[in-house]
Structure 1
């Protein structure tokens, strides 16, 4: 038996015309609130003397280091030392209709425009309040874990990057008519029961929260938010007081809630305006109904012993809880051949965005037009050719390593050098593009002199609840990349009999862009072009998570892992210069 508490608290942000996070579009601004956005939390422990595991899922596009840092500070102050940051998991539903401006790094705040301190404060307050209330509500609770597959005919998700997916040698190759099968259709479920009644749960299923397109103007929880609302309403009708249902993400990197296949754009164009909200509600309903059906099976079926569990059916969780978290600089990882599958030494590199990133994704969020992408490709290749032309040039070795790591990406943006097509960020004419104009404004103001465009020091975390391990990944990880990561961690953990199951949670604790397999990366679709640290990013993630898993198996006093590395502090004056101080109407005019 565990002591478990739960609570939720609204993220109190009033729409004022700031751009929302997700699509990266200057025009995608919030002027209304369609649904409330929440921080939903669970606290889990075995006894009063133990520091709890804390799960908090936010109706946001991503978690940032600024958010996590603020929540850790608030909980450290409020809990008087009875708090271990390694046991805190912050998750995002990845709705593309939530507020932006909550990162200290510069790039993903550009459309907002800039950093919005009142947004960050509201997020931190909501998360900390929901977590503290969850701790206060702890009662004896049983926990069951199970999985359930969506039937093939349920129109809940499709693979949006099929050509990249089919590059993987370890998948069944799918046709355009089978994109609904080119993904993991399994939902992982952690159910919380009091007196034999389902009272709350955490669902893990990977599908983008992009039912709502980039032409709308309201904050909204999208499919994951609607799934939570519908599930909590059901539990209320069953007499559960203050229920909480979290619908978090798993392998969503290449998974869309919109049909991908023949005539996909025509089909998507028919879902406009109010129909998009109805579509999001229906997608959420699919997720809610599957979760509720699986978790409300008879108590007799839930009484399955650990050594009998073979997947699918419910299993009662018993045993201890644990957690381990370490920050890793993903821009400079030397990857062993065991993970790279090549006989020579390879390394990750500084973060770079490719041309495919500018092109966006089909159906979900298209970016620049094809003629512009062709021009960007040509310019990128000219920069590469020039940099590698003279082997005696001072920067030749640096750029040779960069392009080997990033191959075959046509690089547009580089961080931390903060260059656009090889030049300083403020070189570009901005008359036709407000995003470029905003970037130029920030650079000329001195707001991005030492600040990185995106993070490179990233938190990796593994949580243990009895025989269950949760791999907490900070990126948007694709179906196959996620499956391989789970296998890597599971093969390490299952040598110890107390851990027999491994599942994955994504969009955790920070945002590192995408994680594709090395094979998918070669396609350089949106996902590969947004895999920042090069073609060995996934291999580096596998390597570092495997080591973290080996440390989790040790007694806490014997663990030897990096607990000191953290992101470098960004100068406050640069953050201030990227802040709009509420004057958004002037900034977007």
Structure 2
């Protein structure tokens, strides 16, 4: 286990903002303040080799190993008076797809009956672009992974279910408190032209073009802190399209640093320890690449940027967590609805056009194909951002709009590139989720929401509830996924975010209308119209890439054999490298386990000091001939590593001719750290 390292905050964070009423007292801490809270962490890492990665839509970006394992962090909150509960789950994924959530609910129902249902489970993604894809049930999102990947899908579902089950088992009286501040050097607006189209009154809320609000929800038991959730808007894209190692990116590092390096959590232990979830909010136009180039800012090293941006989020959250806070009171309540976003009538009080408008079938604009150049979004160089950037597509769109006035009213001025909604490649029906946790209200949206779009959503819900907008947060990337959510003004710019706002110019007003309805129902204590059911498409999946057929070591070699030994001696700060004769890692994902261990000799035995879930290690796979695998394990010796004798071990699994998988192990020679 690492020794806790409690570094003082170094990030500029403004003083906490006012939160609710009253102050946190010793009595609040002791009496539990009306909540039971449980916490859980579980591994959701998918296939680490030869699977197209999710996020940048680049066919050439395929997994080749692990830097940080992906995790699911669950908090279950129960109102002790009413018995109402909600599970808030933050997952190190690019997106949450409805098929994943459906499978999680089915598994929870088998275990807990009706304890966790559609209303009481909100799953939100951190939006890392450094994980395997292939876990959607809609074609558009499985293209770069060459179809559906059952093993990755199953690992995600099993890990989310495990994290919720652990949190359920962990339930105990707790105090929940909240603090807000501002973090100003972990994001930059990557779509400034579109942002500037918004009215001055909206832009005034964000003088620098970003939403700098960082919000911390802290959980205490008998005066002892046991967990927290932080919401802050920045894209989880410090790692670029060049990266092929699985990682939670900057938010994953923030959570890892607090849990593992500061609190000393052992991820493979039964007890959850301290749980730190770094969740997303309205991050649609917020980039962590501060120089507005992929992998650039604050340094030119994408791995170091991941650490720095993650550390800044940690330090901001830790400062708020340790400072003045206000208790959350008021219990738990939720409202859920499914909305057919392909053809929704939006009333004039929300459109501002003086008439009823309609959303449209999911349609991608030409600027979508340009990608987000600031974050390296896998765009095609023949396409550009902006309304006039793609004249050929624009000419075709004008003909379409003349032939179909309804399409023009719903989608113009978008240059129509592709209509995945008509092909069934994207969802039509989308889930909306409103959660009240004390005085905090979460607006669960299946989109990447820009700062001003989030502001309008928060104001709409706050007005309907009669609360301050500060008491409303957008929980983006929640429960499903269907591209971006921009304001109508930003949509008119048709930069990447507008081109990826698929349901047309009136998409945000549609969400304002529907969330106003849910908020009114919540306030009145009446049930909400549930809307159409989300279709189950689990039986329609296509796989284009086969599983591993056979593993065979090179002639004269054996599985687990070391082909590159470490040096005899290392100093802190140096990198240890060891290579093994291996097997394909997709044979066994080692969920909840590890492919590697760095061990230090203690007496007559060995103590593990790092595994493949640690920042200091890297696990790399490469093909060696036709059926063999080369495994490279590296370990950056930490500055505070204890002197002594060490070794590196590798745990592999080989598929034989019969299809049987056999586990094997390898170990390096002993080396010294001094």
Does TM, normalized by the shorter one, top 0.5? Answer: yes
> CA contact under 8 A between 2:295 and 2:305: conserved in structure 1?
no
Change (3 A) 1:74 1:266: closer
**Are positions 1:291 and 2:317 aligned together?**
yes
1:568 maps to what in 2? 535
Output one character per residue of 1:92-140: Cα deviation in whole Å (capped at 9) or x when no partner: 1100001211111100110011111111111000000110011101111
CA shift at 1:51, angstroms? Answer: 4.5
1 CA distance for matches of 2:351 and 2:245?
Answer: 44
CA shift at 1:266, angstroms? Answer: 9.5
1:383 maps to what in 2? 396
Structure having the higher helix fraction is 1
Output one character per residue of 1:188-233: Cα deviation in whole Å (capped at 9) or x when no partner: 1111012223220000111000000001110001000001011113
1:254 maps to what in 2? 285
> CA contact under 8 A between 2:84 and 2:333: conserved in structure 1?
no
1:330 maps to what in 2? 341
**Are positions 1:533 and 2:503 aligned together?**
yes
2 CA distance for matches of 1:84 and 1:268?
Answer: 43
**Are positions 1:410 and 2:375 aligned together?**
no
CA shift at 1:277, angstroms? Answer: 1.3
Change (3 A) 1:383 1:544: same
1 CA distance for matches of 2:79 and 2:171?
Answer: 11
2 CA distance for matches of 1:109 and 1:117?
Answer: 12
2:370 maps to what in 1? 359
CA shift at 1:271, angstroms? Answer: 5.4
Q: RMSD of the TM alignment (CA)?
A: 2.8
Q: Secondary structure at the match of 1:553?
A: helix
CA shift at 1:373, angstroms? Answer: 4.9
Structure having the higher strand fraction is 2
CA shift at 1:167, angstroms? Answer: 0.6
1:129 maps to what in 2? 162
Task: For 1:391-430, list aligned pairs within 5 A.
Answer: 396=403, 399-418=404-423
Output one character per residue of 1:257-290: Cα deviation in whole Å (capped at 9) or x when no partner: 0124xxx449839956xx2111101111000011
1:520 maps to what in 2? 490
**Are positions 1:347 and 2:358 aligned together?**
yes
Pick one of 66, 76, 81 that aligns with 2:114.
Answer: 81
Runs of 4+ in structure 1 deviating by more than 6 angstroms, as ranges, are 238-241
**Are positions 1:222 and 2:249 aligned together?**
yes
Change (3 A) 1:116 1:370: closer
Output one character per residue of 1:338-386: Cα deviation in whole Å (capped at 9) or x when no partner: 1111112211100000011000112211544554559993443343344
Change (3 A) 1:139 1:173: closer
Change (3 A) 1:583 1:527: farther
Change (3 A) 1:270 1:194: closer
Change (3 A) 1:551 1:7: same
TM-score by length of 2: 0.72
2 CA distance for matches of 1:131 and 1:564?
Answer: 26
Task: For 1:428-467, list aligned pairs within 5 A.
Answer: 452-467=424-439
> CA contact under 8 A between 2:367 and 2:383: conserved in structure 1?
no
Aligned residue pairs total 513
> CA contact under 8 A between 1:493 and 1:500: conserved in structure 2?
no
> CA contact under 8 A between 2:195 and 2:209: conserved in structure 1?
yes
Structure 1: give runs of 5+ residues left out of the alignment.
302-313, 390-395, 419-451
1 CA distance for matches of 2:382 and 2:160?
Answer: 44
1:243 maps to what in 2? 274
Change (3 A) 1:17 1:180: farther
2 CA distance for matches of 1:99 and 1:180?
Answer: 37
Output one character per residue of 1:290-338: Cα deviation in whole Å (capped at 9) or x when no partner: 11111112xxx4xxxxxxxxxxxx2101222111111111111111111
Change (3 A) 1:500 1:365: closer
CA shift at 1:82, angstroms? Answer: 2.2
Pick one of 194, 203, 223 that aligns with 2:221.
Answer: 194
Structure 2: give runs of 5+ residues left out of the alignment.
1-32, 550-583, 585-622, 627-674
2 CA distance for matches of 1:24 and 1:267?
Answer: 17
Q: Secondary structure at the match of 2:42?
A: strand
Pick one of 125, 141, 144 that aligns with 1:111.
Answer: 144
2 CA distance for matches of 1:84 and 1:320?
Answer: 18
1 CA distance for matches of 2:169 and 2:203?
Answer: 50
Higher normalized contact order (CA 8 Å, seq sep 6+, divided by chain length): 1
Q: Secondary structure at the match of 2:319?
A: helix
Stretch of structure 1 that moved more, 517-526 or 50-59: 50-59
Higher radius of gyration, 1 or 2? 2
CA shift at 1:16, angstroms? Answer: 1.7
TM-score by length of 1: 0.82
2 CA distance for matches of 1:376 and 1:114?
Answer: 32
CA shift at 1:55, angstroms? Answer: 1.1
